[in-house]
Amino acid sequence: MKLTRKLRPNQTIAIILFLFSCFYLYVAFQIPVYALPRPIDSDLFPQILGGLMLLLSIGLFFEKDAETDVAEQEKTKEHESFWARPNTQIVVTALVIGAYILLLERAGFVLTTFVFIFGMTRYYGYKNYVTNLIVAIVVSVGFYILLTRGLGVYLPPGLLPA
């Protein structure tokens, strides 16, 4: 923990990239050789890229952090709830998108999209329930009809009748 606290953001990213490029190079050297001998095989370009990334990560480790680089500190407002903080909102958004993807084919497009728009708009702080409800219904049902009936694109009906 102490080590990570001493590292500048650029250095932390450099270490991650260094490890990534080592792994990338390892996989590059595992790429099977093509049966017919060729002057250049599938593994050469990835090996060059892995080597370049390795060198660049070392370069980044020694690069100074520009002032604008470091993620802006969030302006925490007084009495702000945990759920309204930007970092919490980002994590919740990513998790909810993950849930949306998992449920899309099971529960269906209309249902998941409606719940997503209504729920997330409310979560981001929009308080007008009626407008929110109308937009969520119009977008989810409207897109479903437009894409499936109008453009012939398949969208999963899920729990609702197709």
Partner 1 sequence: MNAWENLMYGFEVALQPEALMFVFIGVLAGTVIGMLPGLGPISALALMIPVTYGMDPAIGIILMAGVYYGAIFGGSTSSILLNAPGVAGTVATSFDGYPLSKQGKAGKALAIAAYASFIGGTISVIGLMLIAPLLGRVAVTFGPAEYFALMVFGLTAVVSLSDKSLIKGLIAAVFGVMVSLVGMDLQTGTARYTFGSVNLLDGIDFLVVALGIFALGEVFVLLKKRTGASEQNPLGSLKLTRKEMRDIAPPIGRSSILGFFTGVLPGAGATIGSFLGYSMEKRIAKDGDTFGKGNIKGVAAPEAANNAASGGSFVPLLTLGVPGSGTTAILLGALLVMGVTPGPLMLEDRPDVFWGVVASMYIGNVFLLMLNLPLIPLISKILNTPRAMLLSLIIIFCMIGVYGLSFNPFDLMLVLIFGLIGFAMRMYGFPAAPLILAMILGAIMEENMRRSLQISQGDWMIFIDKPVSFSLLILAAVSLLLPLILRFIKWVKNR
User: Could you give phi then psi for residue 49, rounded to 5 degrees?
Assistant: -65, -45
How would you class 85 by CB atoms within 10 Å of its CB: exposed for 0-12, middle for 13-18, buried for 19 or more? Answer: middle
Q: How far apart are CA 115 and CA 110, in angstroms?
A: 9
Residue 69 binds partner 1, judged by CB under 8 A: yes
Residue 56 binds partner 1, judged by CB under 8 A: yes
What count of Cα atoms within 13 Å lies in the side-chain half-sphere of residue 143? 16
Fill in the DSSP letter of residue 149. I
Residue 87 binds partner 1, judged by CB under 8 A: yes
Token pair for residue 76? 């925490």
Token pair for residue 33? 């050789």
Residue 153 binds partner 1, judged by CB under 8 A: yes
Residue with tokens 């998992």: 102
Q: Which of 7, 19, 26, 31 binds partner 1 (CB under 8 A)?
A: 31
Q: How far apart are CA 145 and CA 24, in angstroms?
A: 44
Fill in the DSSP letter of residue 43. T
Q: Which of 19, 26, 29, 97 binds partner 1 (CB under 8 A)?
A: 97
Residue 126 binds partner 1, judged by CB under 8 A: yes
Residue 150 binds partner 1, judged by CB under 8 A: no
Residue 29 binds partner 1, judged by CB under 8 A: no
Q: Which residues bind partner 1 (CB under 8 A)?
A: 9-10, 13, 17, 24, 27, 31-32, 34, 38-42, 44-46, 49, 52-53, 56-57, 59-60, 63, 66, 68-72, 74-75, 86-87, 89-90, 93-94, 97-98, 100-102, 104-105, 113, 116-117, 120-126, 128, 132, 135, 139, 143, 147, 151, 153-155
